[in-house]
Amino acid sequence: MATETVLQEHGDTARRKRRFLGIGVGVLLATSVIAIAIGSVRLPLTDVVAVLFGGGTGTQRAIVWNVRLPRVLAAIAAGAALAIAGAAMQSVLRNPLGAPYTLGISQAAAFGAAFSIVVFGIDGAGAGGLAVPGTYLTALAAFLGSLVSTGVILLLVVYRRATPETMILTGVAIGSLFTAGVTTLQYFASDTEVAAIVYWTFGDVGRATWSSAAVMATVLVLTTAYFLRHGWDYELLDAGTKTATSLGVDVESLRIRGMAIASLATAVVVSVVGIIGFVGLVAPHIVRKLIGGDERYLLPASALVGGTLLVAADTLARTVVAPVVLPVGVLTSFLGAPLFVYLVVAGREYW
């Protein structure tokens, strides 16, 4: 009887988590349709749906397919990728404050991209039409920059057995260091290069195109597939390093690969839309509060919540002081910073 009760409770929990995923998909779709409808030219929701299925007028199709849909898809891909990266980093580091932004990885990627703009003379996105080879070079430079921050964190984890507090303080220091580096590059840059760096360090999905949204979506799919494939390994890692090792998990390799892949996803997002803070921190914690920390459900649920949050934040950024369009990275920082302070002050563990 006790075994049947346990199995029933496990089944109920699994159904509740699957139901959450289904609701998350519905909320994301509804938020996306609303985001497409809202703008300088407001479209009725029925017309938006009609356009998406091949109907509507020529003007409506141009607005939806050429302007708003690429922006919404880019926001979904960027938010989901940052949320997946944040959830993975929190699991790998056993640190509830782990995220690309709080660990300095976003800032390091930004420095790498800014370095490529200034040193290699690449015209940054939004400041003169970045050529395709330049786009790849900027993404590569951002990835290499993020690896520096990742390497420092991994060294602390693997060789120094650093505490979560130490890792967060180190991440803050790394973020400050690379922010200072970006400022130094701006000092020696030309006016055009400064405009390029400043423009995309704001964090703005409005610069995304169909091709860049496709690149982020591809990275998101590959990243999600990897972490879902190793979801059980990360679930064992949550139980502790010794437990995971005793059950055959190569903990060090799992951590290194996880951090490298999460950094790659972060670097691609930063190279396309700039720095967008706190989405990778907020989304996984929302999911943990609602359905717990089972990695098999945490990762896809975090992606859904992250995508929804960024789409909603971008919609608010476009409308809160219309006709002025705020960079979405500014808004996510305003919303995410209070949560960061709350987690630090409260000192609570969401595991």
- Per residue in 107-152, pLDDT (tens digit) is 898 898 888 888 877 654 433 334 445 566 777 788 788 888 878 8
Residue 166 has pLDDT above 80, yes or no: no
Residue 6 has pLDDT above 90, yes or no: no
Report the pLDDT value the prediction gives residue 129, as an integer from 0 to 100. 39
Q: What is the 3-state secondary structure (H, E, C) of 213-264?
A: HHHHHHHHHHHHHHHHHCHHHHHHHHCCHHHHHHCCCCHHHHHHHHHHHHHH
The pLDDT > 90 percentage for the chain reads: 27
Contact 213, 77 (CB under 8 A): yes
What is the DSSP secondary structure assignment for residue 189, as one 8-state letter? S
Coil/strand/helix, residue 294 = coil
- Could you tell me which residue, 234 or 348, shows the higher pLDDT? 234
Residue 347 has pLDDT above 80, yes or no: no
Distance CA(341)–CA(165), nearest Å, equals 14
Residue 86 has pLDDT above 60, yes or no: yes
Report the pLDDT value the prediction gives residue 127, as an integer from 0 to 100. 37
Distance CA(91)–CA(75), nearest Å, equals 24
What is the DSSP secondary structure assignment for residue 159, as one 8-state letter? T
Question: Domain locations in the chain?
Answer: 2-104+203-346
- Could you tell me which residue, 164 or 146, shows the higher pLDDT? 146
**Count of all residues that appear for the chain in the document:** 351
Q: In this predicted model, what pLDDT tens digit does every residue of 271-282 receive, in sequence order?
A: 788 889 889 988
- Could you tell me which residue, 226 or 324, shows the higher pLDDT? 226
Q: In this predicted model, what pLDDT tens digit does every residue of 208-248 receive, in sequence order?
A: 889 889 989 999 999 999 998 988 888 888 777 778 888 78
Span 7-13, average pLDDT: 61
Q: Where are the beta strands (DSSP E) in 106-164?
A: none
Residue 301 in tokens: 């649920």
Span 255-273, average pLDDT: 84
Report the pLDDT value the prediction gives residue 185, as an integer from 0 to 100. 92
Report the pLDDT value the prediction gives residue 131, as an integer from 0 to 100. 40
Confidence class for position 341, pLDDT limits 50, 70, 90: confident
What is the DSSP secondary structure assignment for residue 129, as one 8-state letter? -
Contact 328, 75 (CB under 8 A): yes
Residue of 84, 94, 112, 51 lying closest to 251 (CA atoms):
94
Report the pLDDT value the prediction gives residue 103, as an integer from 0 to 100. 84
Mean pLDDT, the chain, rounded, equals 83
| Domain 2-104+203-346 falls under CATH 2.102.10.10 | no
Report the pLDDT value the prediction gives residue 242, as an integer from 0 to 100. 79
Residue 10 has pLDDT above 60, yes or no: no
Q: Tokens 């779709």 sit at which residue? A: 29
Residue 75 has pLDDT above 90, yes or no: yes
